[in-house]
Structure 1
Amino acid sequence: MSAKFHLAEVNVGRLRAPIDHPMIKDFADNLDRINALAESSPGFVWRLKGDGNNATDLAIDGDPLFIPNLSVWEDIPSLGAYVYRSGHVEIMRRRKEFFEPMDHAMALWWVPVGHVPTVEEALEKLALLKAHGPTPAAFLFKTPFPPPTGEPVQPELDECA
């Protein structure tokens, strides 16, 4: 973990039906529990909220079914533990029940401590990842990049020979 940077995370999805539709009921009924789990997880810093305790009312591009999830964590292991080794995983495994299939729905990137990312910034990171693949500017769990140090990388001695 870097004392100067935190990890931002976005995932977006287009619901298969409105949030109050019976098809989406299990997802909607679990939002408060899953969000509370995130907030009580080690390494959690911040998450996007709309008028309620979640971001389901913050439609992307005016589409009420296209919703964001945006959060900030201390580091990759903290977010990974929440995503893959907590009660969150049971809902995540059911994503196909609630959301339409979508490529490039998640991105990770480093932000300075105290920076609160916007949905617009997050969408830019998704577009970067789609256009260029994983880079230090936007990456995935499978292809992580370390926090920026602001210092030049020193070459290994044998690279100079």
Structure 2
Amino acid sequence: MPHLALYTFGVLKSPLADPAPLTREFYDIGEAVYRKIGQHPGYIAHAEAAEGDRGMIFGADWGAWGEFAVPTWYGKGRTVDTTALAATLSLWTDLGPAFDAIYTGLHRAALNRRYDWFERTGHPNYVCWWVSDGVIPTWQDGVSRLEHLHDQAPAPHAFTFHHPFAPEGTPTRINGIGPKSDRVR
């Protein structure tokens, strides 16, 4: 059975290494959100660097998730002291559980504060796509699909929760979100 891959990307207002209170708050909330999402029904896994170091993103060992990559529009630093981004790559059993995890509870509260921490770039900040069972998406997969979503309309190759597609490539709906003419999941 296919699984849902979800890639998120945001450009932070300040580097991850910044000791300012907002950066510390972002880390604290982020760690709590990851713990909660990891317990959510439908969650399978997410990319984690083998070293687990804060700020060590570029050059880290991401295992089967591949070499870390960023969209072409990211123009900030790439060292531990200058990196100013937050990115996630995760696998889910289906659209509904991923949508629920993102738009409810602690993660929803964090989303409500996103503009305290993230720049408004004019680019999409997430993309979804389907992968075959046993396939682990790579960072480059996420980047290429996010860039595709920015350049093109949502499609089975790269879509959002508001314009979702089923694994077979047909438009669908999640919890009432999506075009009314499509089938309900």
**Normalised-by-shorter TM-score class:** 0.7 to 0.9
Give the letter aligned to residue 113 of structure 1.
D
Partner Cα distance (2:140, 2:23) in 1? 26
Alignment correspondent of 1:122: 142
Task: Say whether the 8 Å CA contact 1:58–1:68 is kept in structure 2.
Answer: no
Partner secondary structure for residue 32 of structure 2: helix
Partner Cα distance (1:12, 1:111) in 2? 19
Confirm whether residue 6 of structure 1 aligns to residue 25 of structure 2. no
How far the C-alpha of 1:80 sits from its partner, in A, is: 0.8
How far the C-alpha of 1:57 sits from its partner, in A, is: 3.0
The structure that has the greater radius of gyration is 1
Partner Cα distance (2:86, 2:110) in 1? 16
What TM-score results when the alignment is normalised by the length of structure 2? 0.72
Partner secondary structure for residue 87 of structure 1: helix
Confirm whether residue 143 of structure 1 aligns to residue 163 of structure 2. yes
How far the C-alpha of 1:86 sits from its partner, in A, is: 2.0
Name the structure where helix makes up a greater proportion of residues.
Answer: 1
Give the letter aligned to residue 44 of structure 2.
V
Partner Cα distance (1:148, 1:18) in 2? 40
Alignment correspondent of 1:34: 33
Partner Cα distance (2:6, 2:109) in 1? 19
Aligned pairs for 1:9-158 within 5 A: 9-21=6-18, 22=20, 23-50=22-49, 51-52=51-52, 56-59=55-58, 60-61=69-70, 63=78, 64-102=83-121, 103-148=123-168
Task: Say whether the 8 Å CA contact 2:16–2:85 is kept in structure 1.
Answer: no
Partner Cα distance (2:28, 2:17) in 1? 10
How far the C-alpha of 1:100 sits from its partner, in A, is: 0.9
How far the C-alpha of 1:66 sits from its partner, in A, is: 2.7
Question: Once superposed, what is the RMSD of the aligned Cα atoms?
Answer: 1.8
Task: Say whether the 8 Å CA contact 2:89–2:139 is kept in structure 1.
Answer: yes
How far the C-alpha of 1:27 sits from its partner, in A, is: 0.8
More displaced stretch, 21-30 vs 139-148: 21-30
Partner Cα distance (1:79, 1:28) in 2? 21
Alignment correspondent of 1:152: none
State the identity as a percent.
26
| Structure 1 moving runs of 4+ over 4 Å | 59-62
Partner Cα distance (1:34, 1:66) in 2? 17
What TM-score results when the alignment is normalised by the length of structure 1? 0.82
Partner secondary structure for residue 20 of structure 1: coil
- Total equivalences in the alignment: 145
Task: Say whether the 8 Å CA contact 2:3–2:94 is kept in structure 1.
Answer: yes
